[in-house]
Amino acid sequence: MELQLTDDFDIHKIAQSGQCFRWYPLADDQCRIFAGDRTILLSQPSPNRLHISCTETEFADFWHTYFDFPLNYAQMREKILPSDTYLKQAAQYGCGIRILQQAPWEMLITFILSQRKSIPAIQKSVEALCTAAGSPIDIAEDGKTLYGFPSPAQLAALDTDTLAACGLGYRLPYIQKAAQTVAQDPAAFSALAQQSDAELFQSLLAFHGVGAKIAHCVMLFGFHRLDAFPKDVWINRVLDAHYPNGYPFEQYAPFNGIMQQYLFFFGRATHSASI
């Protein structure tokens, strides 16, 4: 189907924004996107047009929410203070980024896995897990079988040697324990979704291997808690350099997570350009 865009959307910026690890660029400016047990091909032939390899019903039932189309991001950018020149510049540079509404379970595992790993290394391990435990969902352009993200029960069923072969490193026991815990209580994530931001943050910290940064990432990208503000080395550099007197969280609540994405994307790009 073809979609006429009326709000911010940039396929390449979203793919490079650090929130998703199963977006893969293909030939002809297409992108293969995985979300749980679904996959589509996406392309953006012009700034206001998307081609999506799904039916209108599938788009309405799932992908419309996944891409966070109910929220107007242009209006979010208008909330930035005129005096906040760095954030205004970052938002202009990152215009087109949206906070994807991804599965909390998938975000928990992928962000535990992301610790001290490059994005290509993260993707390699994620695909290894999917191949080892996920269900077949489609056939790729080259004839290879494509796999969905494994459920807690599927992941918990893998033995330690199989997990080790997926390149998990020291994160292996964290992922194994998380899978076993959630597999024993399939309703766990539904219960977490009902908690307040403060309660959810503490509940996520209870998972082995989850610190503040990962908890905020799971809140933002998995539970769509748009005020969550993950801090990593890039964000800390931005805050130190451009907000020495403190960042105005109250001004941008309850959408600090959107602003964080602009700051992260711009800060990483400008730092890399200066090297």
Dist. CA 123–CA 21, nearest whole Å:
6
Q: Is the pTM of this model over 0.75?
A: yes
The reported pLDDT for the residue numbered 43 is 97
The reported pLDDT for the residue numbered 116 is 84
The reported pLDDT for the residue numbered 39 is 97
The reported pLDDT for the residue numbered 274 is 47
Per-residue pLDDT at 186 exceeds 90 = no
Burial of 232 (0-12, 13-18, 19+ CB in 10 A): middle
The pLDDT tens digits of the residues spanning 239-248 come to 999 999 999 9
Which residue shows structure tokens 């105005």? 248
Dist. CA 72–CA 131, nearest whole Å:
36
Q: Are 173 and 208 in contact (CB under 8 A)?
A: yes
Dist. CA 100–CA 116, nearest whole Å:
23
The pLDDT tens digits of the residues spanning 88-103 come to 999 999 999 999 999 9
Task: Give the count of alpha carbons within 13 A of 223, CB side only.
Answer: 27
Task: Give the whole-number percent of the chain exceeding pLDDT 70.
Answer: 99
Q: Do β-strands 49-52 and 38-46 pair in parallel, antiparallel, or remain unpaired?
A: antiparallel
Per-residue pLDDT at 68 exceeds 90 = yes
**Average pLDDT over all residues of the chain:** 95
Residue 204 CA: distances (Å) to CA of 6, 107, 186, 190, 223: 35, 11, 16, 13, 11
Mean pLDDT, residues 212-217 taken together: 98
DSSP class of 159: -
Dist. CA 140–CA 157, nearest whole Å:
26
The reported pLDDT for the residue numbered 176 is 97
Q: Within 10 Å of residue 77's Cβ, how many Cβ atoms?
A: 18
The reported pLDDT for the residue numbered 217 is 98
The reported pLDDT for the residue numbered 29 is 87
Per-residue pLDDT at 121 exceeds 50 = yes
Per-residue pLDDT at 12 exceeds 60 = yes
Mean pLDDT, residues 174-186 taken together: 95
The reported pLDDT for the residue numbered 193 is 96
Per-residue pLDDT at 177 exceeds 90 = yes
